[in-house]
Amino acid sequence: MTRRDTAEPLPASFRDPSGFVFRDDGTVYRQISDSYAATYEHIVKSGFYRAAMDAGELIRHEEIDPESLSVGAGAYKILRPDQVPFVSYPYEWCFGQLRDAALLTLALQKRALTHGLWLRDASAYNVQYLGGRPVFIDTLSFEAYPEGRPWGAYNQFCQHFLAPLTLAAYVDIGFLKLLRTNLGGIDIGLASRALPICTRLRLGLQMHIHAHGRAVAKAVAKPEASADAREAKLSRNALLGLVDSLQSSVAGLELPTSKTIWGDYYDETNYSSAAHEAKHSIVERFVARVQPRTAWDLGANDGRFSRVASAAGAYTVAIDGDPAAVENNYRDVRHRNESHMLPLLMDLANPSPSLGWASRERDSISQRGPADLILGLALVHHLAIGNNVPLPKIAAFLAGLCRHLVIEFVPKEDSQVARLLATREDIFDDYSENGFEAAFATRFRLLDRAAVADSARTIYLYEAIVD
């Protein structure tokens, strides 16, 4: 048996017969099928791949000898793309990340057209974050531009990008959460109904969402529409105009500046600057001891402590549930050109599950682990008291995600915990330093601990016990 028979496509790679993605010995490869061979050669000759890779828009790849992997006959080419250290999904991105992914998709469509090609789909799942920036990963999404045809991915672009971004900008940032349930994007008819009337005064939004939504609904109620659609025409200039108009519409969307729970957390904390500095140096010391290659900072806020890990060379995923905090972090990443930091939006009390076809298309957060190190600073009291999760359950969850853990215990005497308890009955008898240590001792081996000066807090360095 050749190894090709055992090179199973990854669970998300099954929709496109042009090829698939598989993993061999920990490395991800892309197989190009014979059916895409002519298109692939045409694209290579057009110079598009080289130009898009040089511009940093398309993930870099190199062709490798199929024989070196013993993938057997039938595979036209095998590509080894740059490896993505952490796969994230659009429903985990903040507004700015989704908008940048949208603009990247449109820029690639324009670039493709200059090479006589176009994008045959515009899924947000074709984009990943790599080196702090969005990069298009689906190398096989391009084909020769069939002059005169309407863009088949126009509706998909509007559903995956324009509708959620517009709803977030004009109604509520919470609409981005809909992307977790609506993996095909947000229906533009739904978006049109939910958007305020002022969006009809913006030409781009009026066209691409409101009028577009009406046209889609009208066609669904008209059986003869299918035949009409087969004959539909769109000139090259009209297509360029369409893409240009989408670019202006997306680029013009901004979040209203609103105060969220955590957006200005560090300005409202109860830390003294001495406690803050002490905490920083403890985290630095523990990170240096672990020397992680990958780190997840859970409850990262704007990534202040995540940067201790990224500065030490770890590819750091900074996860927080507050859209404003993640937005701020992402802006910093772009502004400082940070390559080792990936801010993500996720509620840790309800983390990303596995989703999609057969519930295997998109990985849960735990399937993407374990991380070499998890930072859980000022986190436990939110889970234990804010969400009523018993300490042993928190320990078990974290032990399944990481090899090492730096975690801060914030006792009831701390004013932040007192604030959480102000509106709750104190049913948390086990919530004490002793209770915390007992719960974590069942899942972790204690390597070190340090009291944070000028505060009642303690930071622990643990190693997960492997069953």
Residues that bind other proteins (CB under 8 A): 150-152, 154-156, 158, 187, 193, 197, 203, 207-208, 211-212, 215-223, 225-226, 228-229, 232-235, 237-242, 244-245
Q: How far is the CB of 192 from other proteins (least distance, A)?
A: 11
The percent helix, strand, coil of the chain (3-state, each to 5) is: 45, 20, 35
Nearer to other proteins, 109 or 352 (CB): 109
Q: How far is the CB of 111 from other proteins (least distance, A)?
A: 16
Q: How far is the CB of 157 from other proteins (least distance, A)?
A: 10
Q: How far is the CB of 287 from other proteins (least distance, A)?
A: 49
Closest by CA position to 449, among listed 225, 231, 285, 320: 285
Nearer to other proteins, 144 or 207 (CB): 207
Nearer to other proteins, 221 or 466 (CB): 221
Question: What SS3 class is residue 356?
Answer: coil
Closest by CA position to 409, among listed 438, 389, 432: 432
- Three-state SS letters, 50-105: HHHHHCCCECCEEEECHHHHCCCCCEEEEEEECCCCCCCCHHHCCHHHHHHHHHHH
Q: What is the DSSP letter of 36?
A: G
Nearer to other proteins, 26 or 223 (CB): 223
Q: How far is the CB of 112 from other proteins (least distance, A)?
A: 17
Nearer to other proteins, 106 or 325 (CB): 106
Question: Which residue blocks in 312-376 are alpha helix, DSSP H?
Answer: 323-336
Nearer to other proteins, 97 or 247 (CB): 247
Q: How far is the CB of 226 from other proteins (least distance, A)?
A: 6
Q: How far is the CB of 219 from other proteins (least distance, A)?
A: 3
Closest by CA position to 56, among listed 158, 132, 167, 154: 132
Nearer to other proteins, 5 or 224 (CB): 224
Nearer to other proteins, 193 or 419 (CB): 193
| Angle, helix 391-399 to helix 433-441, in steps of 10 degrees | 40
Query: How many other C-beta atoms lie within 10 A of the C-beta of residue 406?
Result: 29
Closest by CA position to 289, among listed 405, 443, 397: 405
Q: How far is the CB of 134 from other proteins (least distance, A)?
A: 24
Closest by CA position to 131, among listed 102, 95, 100: 100
H/E element holding 190? helix 188-194
Q: How far is the CB of 245 from other proteins (least distance, A)?
A: 4
Nearer to other proteins, 156 or 306 (CB): 156
Sort strands 133-136 and 127-130 into parallel, antiparallel or unpaired.
Answer: antiparallel
Q: What is the DSSP letter of 293?
A: S
Closest by CA position to 367, among listed 379, 383, 351: 351
CA distance 290 to 403: 10
